[in-house]
Amino acid sequence: MRLVLNGSPVEVVAHPMKRLLDVLREECGLTGTKEGCGEGECGACTVLVDGEAVCACLVPFAQVRDCAVRTIEGLGGDHPLQTAFTREGGAQCGMCTPGMIMAALALGPKPSLERIRVGLAGNLCRCTGYEAIYRAIQRAWQGEGVSKAVRG
Amino acid sequence: MPVVGQSVPRKDGAAKVAGAAKYVDDITFPGMLHGRTIRATIPCGRIRDIRLDFDPAGFTIVDCSDIPGRNVVSLIEDDQPCLVEREVRHVAEPVMLLAHEDREKLLAAKVHIEYEPATPVYDAERSPAAHKHIVIEKGDLAKGFAKADLVVEGEYRTGHQEHVYIETNGFIAVPEDGGITVHGSLQCPFYVHKALKHLLGLPDDKVRVIQTEPGGGFGGKEEYPSMIAGHAALLALKARRPVKIVYDRAEDMWATTKRHPSVVRHRTGVMRDGRIVAMEVAVLLDGGAYVTLSPVVLSRGCIHAAGPYRCPNVRIEGRAAFTNTNPNGAFRGFGAPQTEFAVEVQMDRIAERLGMDPVRLREINALRPGDTTATGQIMGKDCSALMVLKEAVKRSGYRRKRRAWQGTNRGIGLALFYHGSGFTGSGEVRLASKCSLATTERGVLILVASTEIGQGTRTMHAQIVADTLDIPFEQVDVAVPDTAGVPDSGPTVASRTCMVVGRILERCAKEMKERLDGLGPGEHYRRHGPMVITKEYEPPPGIVWDDATYRGDAYATYSWACDVAEVELDPVTYEVKTRKMTVVHEFGRPIHPVLARGQIEGGTAQGVGYAVLEHVVMQDGAMANAQLTNYTIPTTLDTPRLDVVMLENPYPYGPFGAKGVGELPMDGPAPAIVNAMRHIGLDVREVPALPEVLMEKAGEAVMR
């Protein structure tokens, strides 16, 4: 099946009803997307499908045919959100972090605090109490490299 | 430039935000099988027969007869079997293990177990058996009550709490060279090492435990990993292939440990002027079906049960009761959240009875330097109860809001609390933790078994070592906790990793600095070869504790905090929203302010969940809502805005003045929130304070 994965067209062979989460982790070797609950409650497996944040544990692989799928690995490691999560303590154990960053990315640049709180309500973090995550997202869009991230 | 007190980038940050950090489920080995646990479905009885309703070809099957050593999960009492032999004591108890390379075939395999059921005990209050009994006595209780102007009694209840680390429990066992290596998500590598040695009958050097990146622990990966590691190891040894067991969320919630539910009864004698003259406290914890860690959870709970208050006449009696439910275990706070909830709600009820401001009552009774605790420990200059109370009251505008919101659906309440740093009593001396520091080509390498579970161990230890050696932070590396390569610096629990382990590392670095003869460690390594310094725990001077009488210095020191909660009651749904919390903590000195704040904010959020959301529904001895769909932890929308203040009072025997902060923030939110509900007029004495509880209390309030 064809799709665009982290910006590159790829052909992936997997059962159409296999969870996108498992296809990414097992067929594509992208283990940055995590499983927290397997029922769409925790958001640890959040990825972007055509720009929209979805729980990869709830999406059958067939559904992403010809779609653009973006995972944490597609951010390159130096995205302002990633840098800010490190600096502000937005990542502690790190298990919710990839999904949290992808969900934050889907909010677009410079979201208001209210928009962040509502937008991340589907992503559970047990370590931070979320305050550091708010600080990280707000800080991410203040610093250098932001214009590049907005374009990219 | 010194890095202690600076928020340097955390060592594991880049890998975590890039999705590159390897958690146990991200790792595979060639030829690896998947493992599954067949569990009992009755709470109490005997197994009569086990029948395999599948074709066993291609399966590895393990039961208790395959255990080469002793069938125990070795911890305190060694009473818990790794696999049931005949007697079942709780639902979800492991009976049999299966492994197969195809996960779908593995999950489809059916095992039928026939039981001879017996009558279970679910109610800790009626349980005839106890795992542990403790009495703490000070002064003359009868004399105290005889003198009191007023006696206030109360009973307080707390429920189970599930850890909900976002990464479930998991292990991979790899048979190697006549022994076994296990890779897994854990807090205490040497606990697992000890348990595997007993279970497998192997010598020290044939068991190796390596930590993978843990996706959260909070105590939930203190003792349970010994069980799952044992299961993976038994399967791997029989199959002679690597075996991975990773629980799904439902199994993790249904089968693993939780916070002990409690019933705490208080009887307090007070004078009209507010002085507390007698405190009688009875603590009951539901220990579950095996001893596991209940004795030490009860111990910490009892020692903290009188709260941060001075009182000449005290009796605290604690009991951890047996029930036919999953063993309850370690969870951040370790007994203290339960008992500090009770005492802090009792304090507000006493204030109410005296017609006194709750702050004033606490000011009168709070421990000051020179006062003694229930165990007779004399407080030193590191006692900051009044300091945190005053700051929290001032900063939150408590007094003004208390007056302004009287008679409305908004309330404000507070809790004053403390938490002992490190193991209880003589625990640290008996642990005799060791740490090593080695020179390398790049600088130095920290060798400890203390694990990074998100709290920032690697970074904080590296800061302490860098500044002590006066070298750049970047030249300090931290070894992966691997029992074959690091000394036993003790378990990663009990708010000890910074204060206790960090202190030993500081001593290693001091000695290394003296022996470097003015060279940098990298330079010294290149000229003279490797140098390794190993140091063992030394207690601060003057610490005395008697395990038999529970008298003396229960902890080397305590950290102190005051939480102020502002809540709003929805008059239609009876939901209480915590709008804001002012959280003032004193824990010596933060080594890394961003990480320390992260502990406080995260622990406070867990406490908010404990107070109003998190409800483990027990049905026939098991968790009936073992799913994140109907066991809810705080989301962004449930977590209040947090105003965190970190006050400093450097502790001379902690590294750079630091004390413990990991557990403290968990102790205060529940009583602060419930006291805010009391301000609205709701006489709540239990958590979780769910809307149905509040509706009932509101009805009572109207009836009055």
DSSP A126-145: SSS-SHHHHHHHHHHTTSTT
Q: Are residues B356 and B498 in the same domain?
A: no
Q: What is the mean pLDDT of residues B555-569?
A: 98
Sheet with B576-586: list strands edge to edge. Answer: B410-420, B558-569, B576-586, B641-647
Q: Are residues B420 and B356 in the same domain?
A: yes
Q: Are residues B273 and B249 in the same domain?
A: no
pLDDT of residue B285: 98
Q: What is the mean pLDDT of residues B626-646?
A: 97
Under the banding of pLDDT at 50, 70 and 90, the label for residue A144 is low
Number of Cβ atoms within 10 Å of the Cβ of B371: 18
Burial class (CB in 10 A: 0-12, 13-18, 19+), B272: exposed
**Cα pseudo-dihedral B21, B24, B30, B33, rounded to 10:** -160
Q: Is residue B479 part of a domain?
A: yes
Residue B384 near residue B367, CB atoms below 8 Å: no
Integer Cα distance of A60 and A50 in angstroms: 15
Q: Which helix (H) or strand (E) holds B582?
A: strand B576-586
Residue B256 near residue B224, CB atoms below 8 Å: yes
Q: Which helix (H) or strand (E) holds B545?
A: strand B545-546
Cis peptide before B688 (omega within 30 of 0): yes
Strand partners, B118: none
pLDDT of residue B699: 83
> For chain A, where do the domains classified as CATH 1.10.150.120 start and end?
75-151
Residue B168 near residue B247, CB atoms below 8 Å: yes
* Closest CB from A82, A96, A116 relative to B166: A96
Q: What is the mean pLDDT of residues B134-153?
A: 98
Q: Is B422 helix (H, G, I), strand (E, B) or coil?
A: coil
- Among residues 630-669 of chain B, which lie with CB inside 8 Å of chain A? 633-637, 639, 641-642, 644
- For B615-650, b/e burial (b = at least 16 CB within 10 A) is bbebeebbbebbbbeebbbbbbebbbebebbbbebe
Nearest Cα of chain A lies from the Cα of B254 at a distance, in angstroms, of: 13
- The yes-or-no verdict on residue A147 having pLDDT over 90 is no
- The yes-or-no verdict on residue B704 having pLDDT over 60 is no
Q: Are residues B412 and B559 in the same domain?
A: yes
Nearest Cα of chain A lies from the Cα of B440 at a distance, in angstroms, of: 27
Q: Print the domain residue range for B446.
A: 433-536
Q: Are residues B412 and B370 in the same domain?
A: yes
pLDDT, one tens digit per residue, over B211-244 is 999 999 999 999 999 999 999 999 999 999 999 9
Residue B89 near residue B30, CB atoms below 8 Å: no
Judged by CB atoms closer than 8 Å, whether chains meet at A117 and B25 is answered as: no
- The yes-or-no verdict on residue A143 having pLDDT over 80 is no
Residue B628 with chain A: CB contacts under 8 Å? 36-37, 39, 41-42, 124
Reported in sequence order, the residue ranges of chain A that DSSP labels E, i.e. its strands, are: 2-5, 8-11, 46-49, 52-55, 68-70
pLDDT of residue B368: 98
* Closest CB from A101, A117, A131 relative to B601: A131
Q: Which helix (H) or strand (E) holds B580?
A: strand B576-586
Q: Is A113 on the interface with B (CB under 8 A)?
A: no
In sequence order, the 6+-apart residues with CB closer than 8 A to the CB of B188 are B221, B222, B223, B225, B449, B451, B490, B491, B492, B493
Q: Are residues B516 and B665 in the same domain?
A: no
Q: Are residues B402 and B499 in the same domain?
A: no
Q: Is B183 helix (H, G, I), strand (E, B) or coil?
A: strand
Under the banding of pLDDT at 50, 70 and 90, the label for residue B698 is confident
pLDDT, one tens digit per residue, over B304-323 is 999 999 999 999 999 999 99
Tokens 């410079």 sit at which residue? A110
Residue B10 with chain A: CB contacts under 8 Å? 86, 89, 91
Q: What is the mean pLDDT of residues B259-274?
A: 98
Q: Are residues B583 and B481 in the same domain?
A: no
Which among B304, B351, B315 has a CA at the least distance from the CA of B668? B304
Domain end call among B506, B536, B566: B536
Integer Cα distance of B325 and B42 in angstroms: 10
Residue A71 with chain B: CB contacts under 8 Å? 19
Nearest Cα of chain B lies from the Cα of A90 at a distance, in angstroms, of: 8
A75-151 has which CATH code?
1.10.150.120
Integer Cα distance of B668 and B368 in angstroms: 19
In CATH terms, the fold of domain A2-74 is Ubiquitin-like (UB roll) (3.10.20)
Residue A125 with chain B: CB contacts under 8 Å? 166
Integer Cα distance of A110 and A141 in angstroms: 6
* Torsional sign, CA B320, B322, B328, B329: positive
- The yes-or-no verdict on residue A87 having pLDDT over 50 is yes
Domain CATH number, residue B515: 3.30.365.10
pLDDT of residue A151: 42
Integer Cα distance of B45 and B309 in angstroms: 46
Total structural domains within chain B? 3
Q: Is A31 on the interface with B (CB under 8 A)?
A: yes
Q: What is the mean pLDDT of residues B457-471?
A: 98
Q: Are residues B167 and B79 in the same domain?
A: yes
> For chain A, where do the domains classified as CATH 3.10.20.30 start and end?
2-74
% of chain B surpassing 70 pLDDT:
99
Q: Are residues B374 and B438 in the same domain?
A: no
Residue B234 near residue B66, CB atoms below 8 Å: yes
Residue B391 near residue B645, CB atoms below 8 Å: yes
**Cα pseudo-dihedral B282, B287, B290, B293, rounded to 10:** -90
Q: Is residue B196 part of a domain?
A: yes
In sequence order, the 6+-apart residues with CB closer than 8 A to the CB of B223 are B73, B75, B188, B191, B257, B292, B293, B329, B330
pLDDT, one tens digit per residue, over B666-675 is 999 999 999 9
Q: What is the mean pLDDT of residues B238-261?
A: 98
Q: Is residue B135 part of a domain?
A: no
pLDDT, one tens digit per residue, over B74-111 is 999 999 999 999 999 999 999 999 999 999 999 999 99
Domain end call among B209, B236, B255: B255
Q: Is residue B7 part of a domain?
A: no
**Cα pseudo-dihedral B344, A126, B585, B349, rounded to 10:** -10
Which among B242, B226, B193 has a CA at the least distance from the CA of B293? B226
Q: Which helix (H) or strand (E) holds B232?
A: helix B224-239
Q: Are residues B97 and B203 in the same domain?
A: yes
% of chain B surpassing 90 pLDDT:
98
Write phi, then psi, for B400 (nearest 5 degrees): -65, -50
Q: Is residue B521 part of a domain?
A: yes
Integer Cα distance of A53 and A58 in angstroms: 12
Q: Is A112 on the interface with B (CB under 8 A)?
A: no
- Among residues 7-26 of chain A, which lie with CB inside 8 Å of chain B? 25
- The yes-or-no verdict on residue B397 having pLDDT over 80 is yes
Residue A30 with chain B: CB contacts under 8 Å? 19
pLDDT of residue A152: 38
Q: Are residues B331 and B377 in the same domain?
A: yes
Backbone Cα Rg of chain A: 15
Judged by CB atoms closer than 8 Å, whether chains meet at A131 and B454 is answered as: no
